């Protein structure tokens, strides 16, 4: 069992033991314990980030690039070990967990390149003889608040661009995944990151998050998590007049129309709905199928769903790992009860036992689901998908868009005309054609519309819109003194 420490200004700070970091595949396995925190400590981290802001903001872009590049190399070399830690503390099956660690390495590598691509513009002023320079500067001190479901990739896709653009960071990871956070921060420091640039503080949102949102020293907050907490982060940031980027929930539709390749559509739907135990904001939780193909699709989908192997995340044959904790499991089961009460036919969704004590839940589908059922409207964040029958493509599109969320929206079709129409009319930040709604690239923008996201996009070159601020400088060179002519 590992004891984690806060890391502020490069100093490891212990605290009273906080909650145990328990392996959801094996409740008898305590992976580690993170320290409890105090508001004072969070303030100390913010002050340290603020004190380091000028020196890091003026550091050479090559230095930043090198730190990120060295960190990328180490994360990549240790992807199996980091994947194993991730699988242990979060419950993601090993193969997916190693893929996530690899994604973190690729993100670090991408942003290492971005650090060097800091450009600006020089344009003529409308006033004669004058020029205007438009440059980018670091935002300053950034609060990074991350969830448990991608415990290494999400912190990396926030912290790497923050560093690349010369910001300093106060990092509050989710309480149930302290291990990946500790490793990432440790790797960055061994890669040459100066003390005080990234400060890691464990603890509750109500303490650390609150300290970040109350401090006049913080210039921006990047948050990924639930819609409820996201709303608070957004409104508090607006009150404090600081920049905010919030990535919240989803209720992502996957439309399957009559001309779709059924085996392909089934694989896409199963992967989108149940990989990562459905615990991703990009999960396909509404599968909208046109009447002409519904029964054929549903039969093959259910057959595939029931074959998926649920088990210990470290067991190589596992396809669906455990639910992250008891609270989440209760939430999943509660949504299934509501679905039954509202007239849905629930297939699967059984709590099962394995050799170890864990939160194992078989994937569930709600057949005969309608768009207005609770399970079709609210984010479950578990291995639960509504199967919604619609008359035709037009109705499918309407139902797909009838949600307060707008993160990722998918369609399975072999028609270019339908695919193009869907890409244009889907009200979401990301559209997937013959691909799962979940599982995104690391070099392009990520984010949604409506209640799913707020503020500038994450990832890719677009990340700079959050992590940098624009300065417009007007330069009048004045007359050239006659003695100074050359």
Catalytic residues: 247, 281
Tell me if residue 257 falls in helix, strand or coil. coil
Q: Least distance in Å: CB of 149 to ligand UN1?
A: 5
Determine the residue with CB nearest ligand UN1.
Answer: 280
Using CB under 6 A, pick the residue from 46, 397, 440, 463 that binds ligand UN1. Answer: 440
Piece in contact with ligand UN1 (CB under 6 A), picked from 83-91, 234-242, 276-284, 412-420: 276-284
- Chain residues 189-228 in contact with ligand UN1, contact rule CB under 6 A: 224
Which residues have CB under 8 Å from 178's CB, separation 6+? 4, 21, 32, 34, 89, 202
The answer to whether 100 contacts ligand UN1 (rule: CB under 6 A) is: no
β 6-8/11-13 pair status: antiparallel
In whole angstroms, the minimum distance from the beta carbon of 438 to ligand UN1 comes to 4
CB of 282 to ligand UN1, least distance (A): 4
- Cβ proximity to ligand UN1: between 154 and 385 the closer is 154
For residues 147 and 456, which CB has a smaller minimum distance to ligand UN1 in the complex? 147
Asked if 150 touches ligand UN1 (CB under 6 A), the answer is: yes
**Burial of 314 (C-beta count, 10 Å sphere; 0-12/13-18/19+):** buried
Rounded to a whole number of angstroms, the minimum distance from the CB of residue 256 to ligand UN1 is 19
Minimum distance, C-beta of residue 210 to ligand UN1, in the bound complex (Å): 22
Exposed / middle / buried, residue 37 (Cβ in 10 Å: 0-12, 13-18, 19+): buried
The one among 98, 104, 257, 281 contacting ligand UN1 by CB under 6 A: 281
Task: Using CB under 6 A, pick the residue from 70, 79, 251, 280 that binds ligand UN1.
Answer: 280
- Interface with ligand UN1, residue 438, by CB under 6 A: yes
Q: Is 247 in the site for ligand UN1 (CB under 6 A)?
A: yes
From the CB of 224, what's the least distance to ligand UN1, in Å? Answer: 5
What sign does the CA torsion over 338, 248, 440, 24 have?
Answer: negative
Q: With binding defined as CB under 6 A, does residue 248 bind ligand UN1? A: no
Q: Does the footprint of ligand UN1 cover residue 254 (CB under 6 A)? A: no
User: Rounded to an integer, what distance in angstroms lies between the CA atom of residue 373 and that of residue 308?
Assistant: 26
Site size toward ligand UN1 (CB under 6 A) is 12
C-alpha to C-alpha distance for 322 and 328, rounded to whole angstroms? 10
The region that residue 314 occupies, defined by phi over 0 for left and psi between -120 and 50 for alpha, beta otherwise, is alpha
Quick check: 106 binds ligand UN1 (CB under 6 A)? no
| Closest CB to ligand UN1 among residues 155, 344 | 155
Residue pair 388/360 in contact (Cβ under 8 Å)? The answer is: no
Interface residue with ligand UN1 among 32, 113, 368, 439 (CB under 6 A) is 439
If binding is defined by CB under 6 A, does position 159 make contact with ligand UN1? no
Tokens at 297, concatenated = 């699709």
Which residue in 367, 388, 382, 364 sits closest to 286, CA to CA?
Answer: 388
For ligand UN1, the closer of residues 284 and 318 by Cβ is 284
C-beta closer to ligand UN1: residue 349 or 448: 448
CB 278 within 8 A of CB 285: yes
| Region near ligand UN1 per CB under 6 A, out of 50-58, 177-185, 214-222, 438-446 | 438-446
Per DSSP, helices labelled H in 122-195 are 153-164, 178-190
109 touches ligand UN1 by CB under 6 A: no
Tell me: does residue 149 bind ligand UN1 (CB under 6 A).
yes
User: Near ligand UN1 by CB under 6 A, which window of 73-81, 326-334, 424-432, 436-444?
Assistant: 436-444
Task: Give 436's Cβ-side CA count (13 Å radius).
Answer: 22
Residue 252 touching ligand UN1 (CB under 6 A): no
- Distance separating alpha carbons of residues 17 and 36, to the nearest angstrom: 6
Report the run of H or E that residue 200 belongs to, with start and end: strand 198-200
Angstrom distances, CA of residue 246 to CA of 104, 200, 458: 20, 20, 9
Name the minimum Å distance from CB 381 to ligand UN1. 9
147 binds ligand UN1 (CB under 6 A): yes
C-alpha 282: how far from chain center: 9
The span of 81-89, 288-296, 339-347, 432-440 binding ligand UN1 (CB under 6 A) equals 432-440
Q: Does 47 bind ligand UN1 (CB under 6 A)?
A: no
Residue 432 CA to residue 146 CA, distance in Å, equals 25
Residue 90 interacts with ligand UN1 (CB under 6 A): yes or no? no
CB of 119 to ligand UN1, least distance (A): 28
Smallest distance from the beta carbon of 444 to ligand UN1, in angstroms?
12
Contact 233, 213 (CB under 8 A): yes
Among the listed ranges 5-13, 80-88, 144-152, 195-203, the one in contact with ligand UN1 (CB under 6 A) is 144-152
Cα separation, 308 vs 362, in Å, equals 8
* Distance of alpha carbon 286 from the chain centroid: 20
Token digits of residue 266: 């089934």
Residues 434, 409: Cα–Cα separation, whole Å: 11
Tokens of 395: 């109705």
Contacting residues toward ligand UN1, per CB under 6 A: 147, 149-150, 154, 224, 247, 280-282, 438-440
């Amino acid at each position: 069992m590992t004891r984690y420490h806060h890391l502020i200004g490069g100093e490891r700070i212990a605290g009273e033991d906080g909650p145990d970091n328990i392996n959801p595949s094996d409740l008898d396995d305590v992976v580690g314990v993170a320290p409890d925190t105090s508001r004072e400590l969070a303030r100390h981290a913010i002050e340290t980030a603020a004190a380091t802001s000028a020196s890091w903001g003026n550091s050479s872009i090559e230095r930043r690039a090198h730190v990120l590049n060295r960190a990328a190399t180490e994360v990549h070399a240790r992807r199996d070990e980091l994947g194993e830690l991730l699988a242990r503390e979060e419950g993601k099956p090993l193969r997916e967990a190693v893929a996530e660690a690899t994604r973190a390495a690729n993100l670090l590598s991408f942003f290492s390149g971005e650090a060097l691509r800091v450009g600006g513009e020089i344009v003529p002023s409308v006033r004669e003889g004058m020029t205007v320079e438009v440059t980018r500067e670091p935002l300053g001190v950034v609060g990074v608040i991350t969830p448990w479901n991608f415990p290494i990739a999400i912190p990396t896709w926030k912290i790497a661009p923050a560093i690349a653009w010369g910001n300093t960071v106060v990092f509050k990871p989710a309480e149930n995944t302290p291990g990946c956070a500790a490793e990432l921060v440790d790797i960055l420091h061994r890669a040459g990151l100066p003390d005080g640039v990234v400060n890691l503080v464990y603890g509750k949102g109500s303490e650390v998050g609150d300290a970040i949102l109350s401090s006049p020293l913080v210039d921006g907050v990047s948050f990924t998590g639930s819609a409820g907490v996201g709303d608070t982060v957004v409104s508090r940031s607006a009150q404090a007049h600081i920049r905010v980027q919030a990535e919240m929930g989803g209720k992502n539709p996957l439309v399957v129309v009559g001309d779709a390749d059924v085996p392909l559509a089934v694989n896409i739907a199963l992967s989108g709905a149940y990989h990562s135990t459905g615990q991703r904001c990009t999960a396909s939780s509404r599968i909208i199928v046109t009447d002409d193909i519904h029964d054929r699709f549903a039969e093959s989908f259910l057959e595939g769903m029931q074959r998926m192997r649920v088990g210990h995340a470290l067991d190589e044959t596992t396809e669906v790992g455990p639910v992250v904790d008891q609270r989440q499991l209760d939430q999943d089961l509660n949504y299934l009860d509501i679905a039954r009460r509202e007239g849905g036919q629930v297939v699967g969704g059984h709590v099962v036992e394995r050799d170890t004590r864990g939160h194992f839940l078989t994937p569930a589908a709600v057949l005969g689901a309608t768009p207005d059922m609770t399970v079709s409207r609210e984010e479950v964040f578990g291995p639960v998908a509504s199967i919604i029958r619609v008359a035709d493509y037009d109705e499918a599109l309407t139902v797909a868009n009838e949600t307060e969320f707008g993160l990722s929206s998918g369609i399975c079709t072999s028609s270019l005309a339908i695919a193009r129409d869907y890409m244009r009319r889907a009200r979401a930040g990301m559209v997937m054609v013959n691909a799962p709604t979940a599982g995104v690239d690391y070099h392009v923008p990520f984010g949604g519309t409506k209640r799913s996201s707020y503020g500038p996009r994450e990832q890719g070159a677009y990340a700079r819109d959050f992590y940098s601020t624009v300065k417009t400088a007007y330069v009048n060179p004045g007359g050239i003194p006659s003695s100074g002519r050359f």
